[in-house]
Structure 1
Amino acid sequence: MWKNVEKILKEKGMSIYKLSKITGIPDNTLRNYHSKHSDPSFTNACKIADALGISLDDLREKKR
């Protein structure tokens, strides 16, 4: 999931810090998602999607 978040952050010129401020999710928590140690809860995934102006489906990594 985080690969999609990173791509969208880059497209929007947004940092993890700014995403943290918008969502209220601690910066450290977002960085843990980034390092692939954990996936966000449903609530946090919703906050991230809302902050980025995308749907939850856009966060999913499509598996074939």
Structure 2
Amino acid sequence: MYEKYEELLKKTGKTSYQISKDTGIGQNTLSNWKTGRSKPKIEKIKILADYFGVKVEELI
């Protein structure tokens, strides 16, 4: 999932910091997803999908 998230960051020119501020998903949470320490819950995936204007299925 994180790879798809990174693709959307590049596509939109956004940073993880901006996403964190705009969505309320903590930077630590995003970092943990990146390193594999945790997996995103469906609620957070839905927030990101809505934010980027994509379907949940595109992120998972």
TM-score (ref. length: structure 1): 0.86
- Where 1:38 maps in the other structure, the secondary structure is coil
Question: 2 CA distance for matches of 1:42 and 1:49?
Answer: 10
TM-score (ref. length: structure 2): 0.91
1:29 match: 29
Question: 1 CA distance for matches of 2:24 and 2:42?
Answer: 14
Question: More helix by proportion, 1 or 2?
Answer: 2
Encode CA deviations 1:3-54: one digit per residue, 9 max, x unaligned: 0000111111010011111110111111111112211111111111111111
**Aligned amino acid, residue 8 of structure 1:** L
**Aligned amino acid, residue 49 of structure 1:** A
After superposition, the CA RMSD in angstroms is 0.9
Instruction: List 4+ stretches of structure 1 deviating above 2 A.
Output: none
Number of residues of Structure 1 aligned to a counterpart in Structure 2 = 60
For structure 1, which runs of at least 5 residues remain unmatched after alignment? none
